[in-house]
Amino acid sequence: MNKQLKIFDLDATSDLSNDIRAMGHWVKTNGNLKDTYHIIIKRIFEGEVHFLQPDPFLNGLQEALQEWPNDCATLIMGDVNLKENITKWYAGHETRIAPFECLSMPLALLKRTQEYDVNKSIPKPKEYEQKYKKFICLNAAAKPHRAKLLCHLVDNEGHEGYISWLNRYGKLPEKHFAGSKFKGEEMLLDFDGANIDKDNNQDVLPINYHYAGFEIVQESIVSDTSLFITEKTWKPLFYKKVFIPHGPRGLIKWLEDLGFESFTELYDTSFDLLPYNERYDGLKAQLEKLLKLGAIDWVDIYKDPDIRKKLEHNAHLARSIHVDGWRKYFN
């Protein structure tokens, strides 16, 4: 591509609507430069296409780009199924055709995780029986699907694991905690006196992480159509942690297709491919199985040669996958 790139970085925005309006203003004032510029709409760190009509984001792009050729603009997002989902969304729109082309970059957050300090020293528990717990479940932004599972955990096995709930970006309405002992109050991990607070970056792990048997990963979305994986899933792969995901449909299968090993000797992964309500019930059933293991049992599990081999393989693969930057596709 010989055109200059006009980049609208919506990953860095604090006001999405305003930035989309600014894009529309640029298009209107530079309509005579269609042969000079290719527009890049960069939203790599987001990955869910909402099948709503109207949708504020996609309708905003439609309006902003209405005077620009659709083969001279590209939307970049992290959804594995981006092109399919955008095509389906616009099939229900009056224009029928998206005002841009699509580029899926599902490994962008793997690349960012690779840039974290993944070689931090892992502390050794001095007294497993007193400090080791069954699981860890980290929750920064409060989301309904996260609240649903956390209510279940708190009401049943909360005391058996390390849980954080930071209410980053605000609290959820009370209805999401109805009937539960958990009411959405902040929960900070304070194992060693050093809190992981609301302002810490995504590369920070609480020391508790290394004293937990397995991780319950609360992904950003639980979509049946969009498949978007964040650093929440990549971290246990890097840090050699057994994990079970509460995330989008097909997450485990997609990781397996990339070459990662699943822990089928510990839990049944078939729930991964079910529609959400069934997937959630399947997840709870497998969690019940995992939680029957005692905290001290996990010390022995991590000594198992087959488990160790899988953990080492996953960590090596996560570190070694080469992730091209998006600019490569526009050289």
Residue 99, in any domain of the structure: yes
151-163 burial code (b ≥16 CB/10 A, e <16): bbbbeebbebbbb
Regarding pTM above 0.85, the answer is: yes
Residue 158, in any domain of the structure: yes
What's the confidence (pLDDT) of residue 182? 96
Residue 47, in any domain of the structure: yes
Q: Are 250 and 138 members of one domain? A: yes
What's the confidence (pLDDT) of residue 55? 85
Nearest to 280 by CA among 293, 271, 269: 271
- Given a cut of 60, whether residue 264 has pLDDT beyond it is yes
Q: Are 79 and 18 members of one domain? A: yes
- Given a cut of 70, whether residue 35 has pLDDT beyond it is yes
Mean pLDDT of 293-305: 94
The phi-psi region of residue 132 (left if phi > 0; otherwise alpha if psi is between -120 and 50; otherwise beta) is: beta
* Cα–Cα distance measured from residue 21 to residue 100, given in angstroms and rounded to the nearest whole number: 16
Residue 331, in any domain of the structure: no
Cβ neighbours of residue 256 closer than 8 Å, sequence gap 6 or more: 262
| Residue ranges making up the domain that contains 216 | 117-320
Residue 169, in any domain of the structure: yes
Q: Are 97 and 121 members of one domain? A: no
- Given a cut of 70, whether residue 128 has pLDDT beyond it is no
Residue 192, in any domain of the structure: yes
Q: Are 205 and 75 members of one domain? A: no
Q: Are 76 and 185 members of one domain? A: no
Backbone angles phi, psi at 212, to 5 degrees: -115, 145
Contact 113, 121 (CB under 8 A): no
Q: Are 88 and 28 members of one domain? A: yes
Q: Are 287 and 149 members of one domain? A: yes
Residue 273, in any domain of the structure: yes
Residue 260, in any domain of the structure: yes
- Given a cut of 80, whether residue 304 has pLDDT beyond it is yes
What's the confidence (pLDDT) of residue 173? 97
Query: Could you say which of 63, 78, 105 is where a domain stops?
Result: 105
Quick one: how far is CA 221 from the chain centroid? 7
Contact 29, 62 (CB under 8 A): no
Query: Could you say which of 105, 129, 151 is where a domain stops?
Result: 105
- DSSP label of 45: T
Q: Are 129 and 74 members of one domain? A: no
* Cα–Cα distance measured from residue 228 to residue 80, given in angstroms and rounded to the nearest whole number: 6
Burial class of residue 328, CB neighbours in 10 A (0-12, 13-18, 19+) = exposed
What's the structural domain count of the chain? 2
- Given a cut of 90, whether residue 125 has pLDDT beyond it is no
Q: Are 131 and 55 members of one domain? A: no
Higher pLDDT, 11 or 51: 11
Q: Are 122 and 82 members of one domain? A: no
Higher pLDDT, 1 or 182: 182
Which of 128-142, 160-174, 247-261 is most confident?
247-261
Q: Are 241 and 279 members of one domain? A: yes
Mean pLDDT of 312-329: 94
What's the confidence (pLDDT) of residue 130? 53
Q: Are 96 and 132 members of one domain? A: no
What's the confidence (pLDDT) of residue 129? 47
Query: Could you say which of 83, 105, 127 is where a domain stops?
Result: 105
